[in-house]
Amino acid sequence: MDRLDALKVFCAVVETGGFRKAADKLGISTPSVTNQIVALETHFGIKLLNRTTRSMSMTDEGRQCYEQALQLLGGMSELETSLQYSNKTPRGSLRVDMPSALSRLHVAPALPKFLAAYPDITLKMTVSDRMIDMVEEGVDVLVRIGQLQDSGLIAKKIASTQFVCCASPAFLKKHGRPKTPDDLARFACLNFLYPKSRQVRPWIFQKDGAPFPQTPQGVLGMDHVESLIEAAKAGCGIVQQMSVSLMEPIRSGALEVVLPDWRAAGPDVSVLYQPRHQRAAKVKVFVDFLQTCFEKV
């Protein structure tokens, strides 16, 4: 039994509240988790967890073990980070989480160059938009769009965005182009719906002053950005989305920009990581790589 690995498993069980959840978090089987806990209890000669078919709780000894295990594992992580920085060789497993549009449009296409440049890094990427607990979920680098919570993480801006209005060439040829936001009332518009509330997200415009919202009457509302853009490419109407999502169809000619003089600044794209990872070589090179991915956004 590797005692450090067993302690990691034990901490995961405590933090997730169950053996199966811990197995999912660690990417191992539930029987493996059970075996590690049993081996750890046998090694110490004590019971760490009170377990029934419906509940689980720590014993007093288990609570003491958990608290000291956190310190031990944290110290090991800091040691690994320090050594990785000292030899300046980026290596090891790197867990990254980012939104779907950023991954698909900007990061994934550039990954071959990164992986070729750093063959000693094993990259594990997940795609989500929720704000996660980086420590609990074992994430090293987090990429997010929009206002950031004061989480104690290091945040670095890697790109700015704009709100851009677009439509397909066929749609514009048939219906013409709006000249001002007020003209949108005469056009078919495609609205984004907030996933939870199902309310329409206002369109944002700016010209010679402060940005202002305006919500045109839509012929279609969807809570999925990429599907809404596909509908615009198919000629359903005019859409407004962030520039990071629209760059590809604009460059390919599938969509054309309308109301270019009324663009408003959108939310920033930021990369976040824990302060103790600030000097880790693998984190540094990946953050530098992300900046190159968004240089032309």
- Tell me the average pLDDT across 253-263: 96
Q: Determine contact, residues 122/153, Cβ cutoff 8 Å.
A: no
**264 confidence band (pLDDT: 50, 70, 90):** very high
In percent, how much of the chain has pLDDT > 90? 45
Each residue of 173-227: pLDDT tens digit? 999 999 999 999 999 999 999 888 889 999 999 988 889 999 998 899 999 999 9
Each residue of 34-90: pLDDT tens digit? 898 888 888 888 888 888 777 888 888 888 988 888 888 777 766 666 555 545 678
Angle, helices 3-16/60-87, rounded to nearest 10 degrees: 120
Q: Determine contact, residues 203/213, Cβ cutoff 8 Å.
A: yes
Which CA distances in Å does 281 have to 77, 86, 145, 276? 14, 9, 24, 12
Say what the pLDDT of residue 213 is.
93
pTM of the model: 0.67
- Give the pairing type, strands 162-167 and 238-242: antiparallel
Query: Starting from the edge strand earliest in sequence, which strands make up the sheet with 121-127, in order?
Result: 121-127, 92-98, 141-145, 269-273, 154-159
Which CA distances in Å does 210 have to 64, 147, 183, 266? 56, 19, 20, 13
